[in-house]
Amino acid sequence: MSRYIGPSTRLSRREGINLMLKPIRDETGKNPLEREYKNYPPGMHMWRRGKSSDYAVRLREKQKVKRHYGLLERQFRRYFKMATRGENTGEELLRILEQRLDNVVYKTRFIAGRRGARQAVVHGHVRVNGRKVNRPGFLVTVGDKIAISPREKSQQYARAQMTLLEGVTNPPPQDWLQIDPGKLEATVAALPSRDDVLIPIEEQLVVEFCSR
C-alpha cells in the first residue's frame, strides 16, 4: 500500500498553510509556519519564486486537498470521478473525502494525528458496525458505528493516544459524529458538510484543474 512517508511539516510549508497533520506539535508552537524559522517553502531556490501562474494556483489548491487527506494522485482522481456524479462537484468531493474511515477516526479523537488514525485502521484496531475494516479509504455512511476493537491491546493503545490529545484543540468536535469517549465508540449521525473541512480550500479551483 503506497503512502507518503516523508516529513509532514514539509508539506505544510510547501502549501503555505497548516495542514493539521500534527495536532500535538501545533499546540506546542513548534509548527515552522508559526515561527520565523523555516517559515517559507522548502527548496534551495525558494527565494527565486515569483508570481504564480493560473495553472500553478489551481495545482497548489489540488495538492493542498491531497496532502490534507493523505491521498496519492490515483486515489484522488478516483474520488473526483465519483464527485462528478453529484450536483456540486467541489462540495461533493470534499464530502466524500470527509467520509473516509481514517478521517473519521482522526476526528473522533480516539487516535492522535491523521497518520496515526490511518495506521490504527490498517493494523486492525478499528471496527465498523462490529466488523474489522482495515482499509483507510472505506467510506462510512449515516448510521455506521465506528469503534475501537474490544481487544485489550487496542483499548489500551487508544486510551494512551487520547491522553496525548488532552489540551489539544484540533480537531474540534464534529456535529455529524456522535462520540462516546468512554466506550470508544462513535456513530455517524449525518453526512459531513462543507463547513466540516478544517482547512481553507477553494474547491472550485480544484474542479477547474481536474476538468482540464
| pLDDT given for residue 30 in this prediction | 62
pLDDT of residue 6: 72
Tell me which H or E stretch contains 162: helix 152-164
Give the whole-angstrom CA distance, residue 187 versus residue 128.
Answer: 10
- Reported as a single tens digit per residue, the pLDDT across 162-193 is 998 888 888 888 999 999 999 999 999 999 99
pLDDT > 90: percent of the chain: 62
pLDDT of residue 62: 94
pLDDT in tens, 89-148: 999 999 999 999 999 999 999 998 898 999 999 999 999 999 999 999 999 999 999 999
Tell me the DSSP string of 53-76: PHHHHHHHHHHHHHHHHT--HHHH
**C-alpha cell, 130:** 462490529
Q: Where do we find the cell 515552522?
A: 32
**What domains sit in the chain, N to C, each tagged with a CATH number?**
8-97+199-210 (1.10.1050.10), 100-191 (3.10.290.10)
pLDDT at 38: 57
Distance CA 119, CA 102 (A): 8
Model pTM greater than 0.95? Answer: no
